[in-house]
Structure 1
Amino acid sequence: MKKTVLAVALTGAMLAMPLSVGAEEEIGSVGFSISTLNNPFFVSMADGAEAKAEELGVDLTIVDAGNDTAKQTSDIEDLIASGIQVLIVNPEDSAAVAPVVSDAIEAGIKVIAVDRSVDGAEVDCYIGTDNVVAGETAGTYFADVLGDGAKIAILEGIPGASSAIERNQGFLNAVEDRLDVVTSQTANYDRAEGLTVTENILQANPDIVGILSANDEMALGAIEAVEAAGLVPGEDVLITGFDAGDDAIAAVEAGTMLFTVEQGTVEMGETAVETALQMMQGEEVEATIPIDITLIDADYLANGGAEEAAEGETEATTEAAQEETEAAEGETEAATEAATEAAE
């Protein structure tokens, strides 16, 4: 198997962590098949998983499907053959990946789906956002800002991906009775396609005033298309994102994107590895682990939202450092006591 992506093989360390693995304890390995690493959202997810694996001493291999269903199937087959105990999967196509996921289950491998569900195979755990609710939240906010009857277009994600299907359903639940959806087209969660598709939409529908996008990358492409058409994004055409990547946050700050939806991509990766370790240790886990969303607009940022997020990361880092210090102090005390007893 060609591994051009992240790979972690770490043991020992972090004995003070409740989920950590001892240096002499062999409990197995985890494989993580991710839909693509050509999207900041999934790069952050992989980074979260990698960092948590290092922290907990989990043997983790991450493979990139490159948005190719056939490659993802082949990758998972290779992971099964390698003898993993847990498979974490972020499907490129939720239905197409089901047969190979079923093979993993039949082989006795625990399966965790992240961000996107698997349609046609019963996984042990799903970790992610309720994308229907998230889509409804975004669509309702958009309709409130634009006002009833406004003409909009929707940019859909990858056909077959559960996140795209569910998010689009949420959008429609919120806006179909309030806004005039003149067209809804896929741009495959891709920035370049978002640009091209939006250019075509604007040519056919020059009077639209809003674009509701299922992810940041397509929204950023739409911003470029609106600018190329001689219009002002954020004024002539309001554009929304989803995922809260760095470029999207910058666009919200600049006023070219109305809002983006943050859904804890790093948390998804971290939680997947934590859950995989719990499974390998024989613990029961929840069938569904929900990830909360936050709608990030200019007001949120102006009121310190970005700073709060940064502070949260700092607090988490500080807590981890404190735990390491306490563990080291405990080991020192134990060693001192042992030496004293030996001397006596």
Structure 2
Amino acid sequence: MKLRKSLVAAGALASAAALLTACGGGQIGQSGGDSKPANGKKLMLVPGVQAEPFYISMQCGAEAEAKKLGYELTTQAPQKFDAPMQTQIVNALGANPPAALLIAPTDAQAMLAPIQQVKNRGSKIVEVDTALQDTSVAASSISSDSAEGGKLAAQTLAKLVGDKPGSVLVLDTIAGTSTTNARAKGFEDELKNHPNLKSAGVQFTQNEPDQAATKVTAALSSTPDLVGIFATNLNTGEGAATGLRNAHKIGAVNLVGFDASPSEVEGLRKGEYQALIAQDPASIGQQGVQQAVNALEGKAVTRNLTAALHPITKADLDANAQYFYKQQC
């Protein structure tokens, strides 16, 4: 009897071990093996910051595509473009991971660990807009060609300035933000091809409009021959416009912004900006969902996709209305 009871007990333990193995008992931070999230039709979008027209437009494109393909997409964004805030959101997914996470990493290195943890729980990872420095994590990455966007901004500014000599200031956001850093570099590289223009350097604004305004005020004082400013995103552009407005330099210094938010478009119409480099965030969101679904359904996935860029001046403003960003879906 003792032998029989021992065999039964051993069999029960073996069955329990097999069940745990089949269910995937890995914890966050472990490899997870073949663990797959239970939410097979649920997608999560974590943009860089909430209430920003670029990311709202991305969300609209992603939601429409998810609905079309029979998936449910939920969006949750940090209050600021901040790695610790975004990390809190991503870490909270660990207990109930989505089938796929679409994310715009707020820091190319700091967001690696939390995103990797979600991947370890079985979620597919798709980067939208920004990307991790480690290219092994995401199944696909969709963004504008930021370096090309910076180059396009420099070419546009050079046309606006003409042969007039002078200095040009670049306003970047946060060191470690893949997209804006690449825009700044692309701009600086292209500026070397225009001998009448010289760089006044790159200033970081921490993605805060008031800091951008302060940087512009300081540059106007220290650089009398300032003829142009390139603002690498919405917040730096709005701050730069404020700085120029406060100094009564609107129109005297050419401002080229990146993106086409409602406030930027209105600023271009009023002459506060001389040009905008518009992205297509709705397309980025749409393609992000497509790649996530392809990864989940075992279809072909494209590792890197590039969305188009569109230079807009006041002269062709209305003709490019399809690229204006939304404030709500």
Match of 1:91 in 2: 105
Deviations 1:224-276 (A, max 9, x none): 21121122x22x11101111111111222222211111110111122212222
1:173 corresponds to which letter in structure 2?
D
1:181 corresponds to which letter in structure 2?
S
**Alpha-carbon distance between aligned partners in 2 of 1:121 and 1:106, rounded to the nearest angstrom:** 15
SS of 1:151's equivalent in the other structure is strand
Any conservation in 1 of the 2:205–2:211 contact (CA below 8 Å)? yes
> Structure 1 residue 55: deviation in Å?
3.8
Any conservation in 2 of the 1:211–1:239 contact (CA below 8 Å)? yes
Match of 2:85 in 1: 71
Q: CA RMSD, aligned part only?
A: 2.2
Match of 2:139 in 1: 124
Match of 1:29 in 2: 42
Q: TM-score, normalised by structure 1?
A: 0.76
**Alpha-carbon distance between aligned partners in 1 of 2:208 and 2:260, rounded to the nearest angstrom:** 15
Give 5+ residue unaligned stretches, structure 2: 1-38
Kindly tell me: are residues 152 and 83 of structure 1, through their superposed partners in 2, closer, same or farther at Cα, counting changes over 3 Å? closer
Any conservation in 2 of the 1:131–1:170 contact (CA below 8 Å)? yes
Moved over 3 A (4+): 54-57
Q: TM-score, normalised by structure 2?
A: 0.79
Match of 1:292 in 2: 308
Deviates more, 1:73-82 or 1:154-163: 73-82
Alignment of 1:204-243 (within 5 A): 204-231=222-249, 233-234=250-251, 236-243=252-259
Deviations 1:41-83 (A, max 9, x none): 1222223223333343322222212322122222212223213
1:143 corresponds to which letter in structure 2?
A
Match of 1:80 among 90, 94, 104: 94
Alignment of 1:1-344 (within 5 A): 27-65=40-78, 66-122=80-136, 123-147=138-162, 149-178=165-194, 179-231=197-249, 233-234=250-251, 236-301=252-317, 304-306=319-321
**Higher alpha-carbon Rg:** 2
Give 5+ residue unaligned stretches, structure 1: 1-25, 314-344
Deviations 1:157-199 (A, max 9, x none): 2211100111111001111353211232012333232222212
**Alpha-carbon distance between aligned partners in 2 of 1:176 and 1:160, rounded to the nearest angstrom:** 24
Q: How many residues align?
A: 282
> Structure 1 residue 117: deviation in Å?
1.1
Q: What is the percent sequence identity of the aligned residues?
A: 24
Any conservation in 2 of the 1:216–1:260 contact (CA below 8 Å)? no
Deviates more, 1:277-286 or 1:159-168: 277-286
With a CA cutoff of 8 Å and minimum separation of 6, indicate the structure with the bigger relative contact order: 2
SS of 1:64's equivalent in the other structure is coil
**Alpha-carbon distance between aligned partners in 1 of 2:216 and 2:69, rounded to the nearest angstrom:** 44
